[in-house]
Structure 1
């Protein structure tokens, strides 16, 4: 796990082994079984989660009980509700494991202490956050211009084996189409 985290963080800036040890030792490992919640709606998000193994979904449940999935998180991704985590307010979203998921997590206080001890970690997290926001913006821009079939094919191309790991109705929610229409797209692909 430590080498996996080191490989990931070193994509953003170079950390020596002592810094990696300090970072790794500030994280705690948690295991979530399929359907367990990392974060429930209206709960304050107290961690940033690094997915070592597994798959999660980030979604909001509307007043009619409909789930709207905005993000899937896979191995080597950080996931959190940033607004809730930073501002210590209840989350409007839920994070749920879709399969057995192993995460490394860090609290806000521990992260702030690490920023002081390893200043370049703050730079790494800034870059990670920037890339995440860019990906969200691109998704929104691209999805407005693409057909449902193009969105589905793009998802399949970006994350191989993803459609075997996620139920069809969740993929439909993420793509903002009906499960029936997704079934037609898959049949004709």
Structure 2
């Protein structure tokens, strides 16, 4: 578990052994069963989660009572509600395990302390934030301009793992199409 986080960090920064150990000591390992919530709407987000194993989704319920999935996250991805975490205000989304999920979680106090004590972490989390913004821009700027068939094909090509691990109705929600139409697309 420790080596997985270190390897991930070293994709972008180099930490001394002491720096890494100090940062790692701030984390708590958690395991969530399928359908457990990492965060519920209305709660204040107190943690950033690094996914060691498993799959989670972020979603909200719209005014019609329809579930709208905004994000999936798998191994070696970070998941949080950035607005709730940064501003310490109630979350407008839920984060839920789609399958059994193990995370390393860091609370806001320890996170902020680590950033001030280990300057390289500022750079690392800036890169993580940039990658997250790029993913959001791709989804809303590019993805949503495509027709449903191309969105699905791109989704399967870009993240083939998801198509096997995520129930069809969740993929349909993420792609903003009906499960019935997605079923037709899959049949060809």
Per the TM alignment, residue 27 of structure 1 is displaced from its structure 2 partner at its CA by: 0.5
For 1:157 and 1:17, how far apart are their aligned partners in 2? 38
Structure 1 moving runs of 4+ over 6 Å: none
Gapped regions of structure 1 (runs ≥ 5): none
TM-score, reference length from structure 1: 0.96
Gapped regions of structure 2 (runs ≥ 5): none
**Which position in structure 1 is the counterpart of 2:168?**
168
For 1:145 and 1:44, how far apart are their aligned partners in 2? 33
Per the TM alignment, residue 163 of structure 1 is displaced from its structure 2 partner at its CA by: 1.4
For 1:40 and 1:108, how far apart are their aligned partners in 2? 17
Say if 2:11 is the partner of 1:11.
Answer: yes
TM-score, reference length from structure 2: 0.97
Kindly report which structure 2 residues correspond to 1:61-72, keeping only aligned pairs within 5 A, or say none.
61-72=61-72
Per the TM alignment, residue 41 of structure 1 is displaced from its structure 2 partner at its CA by: 0.7
Kindly report which structure 2 residues correspond to 1:68-79, keeping only aligned pairs within 5 A, or say none.
68-79=68-79
Say if 2:19 is the partner of 1:26.
Answer: no
- Secondary structure, aligned partner of 1:6: helix
**Which position in structure 1 is the counterpart of 2:149?**
149
Confirm or deny: 8 A CA contact 2:84 2:90 kept in the other structure: yes
Per the TM alignment, residue 119 of structure 1 is displaced from its structure 2 partner at its CA by: 1.1
Say if 2:117 is the partner of 1:120.
Answer: no
The count of residues paired between Structure 1 and Structure 2 equals 188
